Amino acid sequence: MSCDKDMKRDVLLLAAGLLPAARAGGVEAHLAGCPACAALRQAVLEERAALKEAGAPLLAAGRRFSVTPELTAAPARRFAFALAAAAACFAVFVLLRGEPRPVPGAPGGGMTPAPSGGFSVAEGSGPAPSDLLLKLSGRRAAPVYISGPRS
């Protein structure tokens, strides 16, 4: 036999570290006397360990990202976007190497302020993608080439 849906839900949440602390005591007490729920908890723990072991099935880009100083770049690339830090004395852009293709829409910089108060993102700041590069003077950084996984 097995316990009701609500108890099984709480057992799973407990094993996954998702159960509010106020409810944990009751579930622990139940687990002590219920082999079925104890087995469920064990199964969830094993499942989580297996997830960690397997690693995330990450998508691989199959293209290359590169971050280079603007001076090494062609001026009007479809995949070039200006990157400007407030205090930075040089510009960088992220360039996607690959055949050009249409863009589905423009991002417009419409980021909403982040909620938690821990950080925020400036509303509407920064260039539109069509502005490509922000000209900033100053020192040049060495190019950094970042290769994605080859597909």
List residues near Zn ion by CB under 5 A. 3, 34, 37
In whole angstroms, what is the distance from residue 29 CA to residue 40 CA?
15
Restricted to residues 80-99, the positions that interact with other proteins (CB under 8 A) are: 81-90, 92, 94, 96
If binding is defined by CB under 8 A, does position 100 make contact with other proteins?
no
Q: Which is nearer to other proteins, 25 or 112 (CB)?
A: 112
Kindly report the backbone phi and psi dihedral angles of residue 94, in degrees, each rounded to the nearest multiple of 5, phi listed first.
-95, 125
Q: How far is the CB of 58 from Zn ion (least distance, A)?
A: 36
Restricted to residues 19-78, the positions that interact with other proteins (CB under 8 A) are: 36-37, 39-44, 46-48, 50-63, 65, 67, 69
Q: Tell me the sheet residues that pair with 68.
A: 93
Q: Which residues of 107-134 are buried (b: 16+ CB within 10 A; e: fewer)?
A: eeeeeeeeeeeeeeeeeeebeebeebbb
If binding is defined by CB under 8 A, does position 106 make contact with other proteins?
yes
Q: How far is the CB of 30 from other proteins (least distance, A)?
A: 14
In whole angstroms, what is the distance from residue 39 CA to residue 31 CA?
9
